[in-house]
Amino acid sequence: MDHFHYKDGTLHAEEVALSDIAAEVGTPFYCYSTATLTRHFALFQEALEGLPHLICFAMKSNSNQAVIRTLAALGAGMDVVSIGEYLRAKAAGVPGERIVFSGVGKTREDMRAALLGGIRQFNVESEPELRALSAEASALGLRAPITLRINPDVDARTHEKIATGKKENKFGIPISRARAVYAEAAALPGIEVVGIDVHIGSQLTELEPFEEAYQKVADLTIALRADGHDIRRLDLGGGLGIPYTRSNEAPPLPLDYGALIKRTLGHLGCEIEIEPGRLISGNAGVLVSQVIWVKQGEGRDFLIVDAAMNDLVRPSMYGAHHDIVPLIEPAVGAAPHSFDVVGPVCETGDTFAKDRALTDLAEGDLVAFRSAGAYGAVMASEYNTRPLIPEVLVHGAEFAVIRPRPSYDEMINRDIIPKWL
């Protein structure tokens, strides 16, 4: 469920007409719903009720500080994968004890900054990282709380570019070496082992891969405790998928996911951490765009809109589907019109949809790309010297621009001409 709906014939975000936002800020723009963010976070809280837990929002899905602060006020922690995301979380008021630091390429500088700024835990991905963290923490006279990210060799049954739990993926320590690496970690100065971390992929639409991975985590927990380790925290990653199409084939619900966690891991007495991103933010956002031209091609019509692949790269990068709907509600029984929906960038890859059945649209009409709140603005670029587009947050009948569109002068003046030119 989300809070984007037609009211009086016009698509609204909560109580605000998206056309009113377009009139004020221009197109294209991203719009997020506070009510939807809040509801989705609450679903995970409900799903894990009865277990000690912390829900750490995966900031890589949407790192706008207004979104982060909204979720932090509800009690969310943050999962960060760079020191930049760490600093964003801190700037938004998230305390270090609610931030977990993931990622395969943490530098020594990153480690020092997080140790000094405060951190809940490092999810360590390799032996070299572990040894470097030991050295940095020891030099500061601190102890670094860690989990080891275990690669369970489980097929997540998702897109190959977002699968992370198979042995050929770059992530984590092979489960076959886990006990040996935990033994090394326990012997290193400046290291405090607190638990196990696992994350097998993104946009999972079945529970079976989670169950297979979590059962391996349960078995490993028992083995590590027998080895003398105090395993008291299990970070289970994220990855639960969202419906990108309006159909009856919806992914599992957070309540089903929570029941699985309780069934496979609840008997261990561990604190549970999960790192949802897409399921909290994905359907909490839309991308609004205006039709520039309708172009007749050879055997097809092109709907050329003012959003492009630099604004929303998922269709180009992953072949991803986003429902596209007009801001003016179509009349009942309106005849569909098939379009290839494309942007203005000078690449054939700048295509959002092919042969998509929409209503008849014309120059100046507004459309919304649904399910655009995750991996949208965060993956945007200024390719073709196109400005990053505004982000807008709606709260009931109010809205605010939470990232403005830069001017062309601002973009151009970031460049520095060397003195010899």
Tell me the catalytic residues. 346
SS3 346: coil
Q: Phi, psi (5° rounding) for residue 358? A: -125, 180
What distance in Å separates the CA atoms of residue 227 and residue 229, rounded to the nearest whole number? 6
H or E element that contains 44: helix 34-47
201: nearest Cα among 255, 152, 248? 152
Instruction: Calculate Rg over the CA atoms of the chain.
Output: 23
Residues 6+ apart with CB under 8 A from 116: 140
What distance in Å separates the CA atoms of residue 279 and residue 414, rounded to the nearest whole number? 35
Alpha carbon 350 to its chain's center: 22
What distance in Å separates the CA atoms of residue 375 and residue 359, rounded to the nearest whole number? 27
What distance in Å separates the CA atoms of residue 177 and residue 183, rounded to the nearest whole number? 10
What distance in Å separates the CA atoms of residue 80 and residue 87, rounded to the nearest whole number? 9
The answer to whether the CB of 31 falls within 8 A of the CB of 286 is yes
The answer to whether the CB of 14 falls within 8 A of the CB of 395 is yes
Tokens 């989670």 correspond to: 210
What distance in Å separates the CA atoms of residue 391 and residue 400, rounded to the nearest whole number? 9
H or E element that contains 191: strand 191-197
Residues in the chain, how many? 421
- The residue type of 14 is E
What distance in Å separates the CA atoms of residue 401 and residue 32, rounded to the nearest whole number? 10
415: left (phi over 0), alpha (psi -120 to 50) or beta: beta
What DSSP line would sit under 12-30, residue for residue?
EETTEEHHHHHHHH-SSEE
Cis preceding-peptide flag for 254 (omega within 30 of 0): no
